[in-house]
Amino acid sequence: MKDGKPNTQRIGWIFALGHGHYTQFLNFRDYLDGDGSAMMLGLTGELPPSTFPLARLLPHPVRHRLGEIQQVAVGLASHARCDTLFIACENTGLMRFVRRFPSFLYTDLSPSLKRELSPWYVHQFSRIAPLQAMREHAHARVARACRGVFTMSTWAARGISHDYRVPPERVHVVLPGANLRRWHRVDRRGRPAHRPIRVLMVGGQFRRKGGELLLDWAERTRARNWEMDIVTWPGELPEWIRTALGNPGADEPAAAALGPRLPHVRIHCGVRANTPELTHLFEEADVFCLPTQADGSSIASLEAMATGLPVLVSAVGGIPDLVEDGKTGLLLRRGDAGDLAAKIEALISDAALRESLGSAARNACEAHLNVERQLREIRACIARCAPRSSDLLDSQET
């Protein structure tokens, strides 16, 4: 501390706005907005108009990576100063910035972990072994060049340390959290007994997130007095469902009930994270179910827990770090249709179980599974592992 003013670490928060990071980018921005010590940078991968014309002839993945690199360069050039970078992006071209700034990587998957969740991530591997080895080597070099790596679970930390040969003391587990400024406890106890129990699933990639398992249950179950809302992307939906929705584009809003085949099921596409439309679906739900086949973590499950919903989610990846089975939710065996049927029907039929699990889930979010705690832990770790030179001088003076 100098002149009575605290030294504040100026962090550049860099997020690729892809599948897993978009919601966390929005959540971090909610808490960091107006903080003069933070630079928030969301990478879309779009090349700026000034880019040389031939670059637009490159394959899309290459253009996207170049776009991310340029966006980081422009963002850092326009910001007064950054002491360190928090990088939630898998682009190995960002090594140039890792060399310039003390940096921390934020990731939740590594090659062995993706293979463990096979076959759902095999599309991310090259069929050419030497090329795949080069990619993995490049990712390892970036991870080792960083001051530290943040993961969202002990499961992810194990894979990062093993695959990238990062010393365990430089891999930091910081559990993710719900944004409690947006997701509030909902009192569901006064709902009429005759009201159908509403089951909610939120997962973009329909097949990987277990949507087929839920539809299969909906067709086979003998349970009564329930309804279901599924929020997803249209690309992996069965053809008959896409037709019922009017064949929407990737981001086009669309919703439809699936009668007469599944009259109690509604599909919603084009619903964005942290919007009133999504909040309303969570508030109206009575059960949250995500029978995901492969995930590193689950922000949607945390959002459900924050509203006091009982969550039923697969015990894959780092999810068991978030849900205490039988206390703050119920964990599913991956791909087990019988386990899914037994547990979802138990929640539909037992109001006391729903209330007990949902209340404990909200309490867990208030106690520790929240964004405010997550950011506090990240910043404290960065201050320890990459102190500014002025901080070191101050500590020596005292």
pLDDT tens string 313-371:
999 999 999 999 999 999 999 999 999 999 999 999 999 999 999 999 999 999 999 99
1 vs 220 pLDDT, higher one: 220
CATH architecture assigned to 197-367: 3-Layer(aba) Sandwich (3.40)
pLDDT band at 396 (very low <50, low <70, confident <90, very high): very low
pTM: 0.92
Q: In the prediction, which pLDDT does 6 show?
A: 44
- Cα–Cα distances (Å) from 91 to 95, 128, 136, 236, in that order, read 8, 20, 12, 26
Q: In the prediction, which pLDDT does 122 show?
A: 81
pLDDT in tens, 17-47: 977 789 999 999 999 987 877 899 999 998 8
Q: In the prediction, which pLDDT does 73 show?
A: 94
Residue 252 CA to residue 74 CA, distance in Å, equals 30
- Closest to 92 (Cα-Cα) out of 42, 50, 146, 39: 146
- With residue 84 as reference, give the H or E element that holds it: strand 84-88
Residue 155 CA to residue 50 CA, distance in Å, equals 43
Domain ranges of the chain: 11-177+370-397, 197-367
Q: What percent of the chain has pLDDT over 90?
A: 82
CB atoms within 10 A of CB 243: 11
pLDDT band at 226 (very low <50, low <70, confident <90, very high): very high
**Homologous superfamily of 11-177+370-397:** Glycogen Phosphorylase B; (3.40.50.2000)
Q: Is the fold of 11-177+370-397 the same as that of 197-367?
A: yes
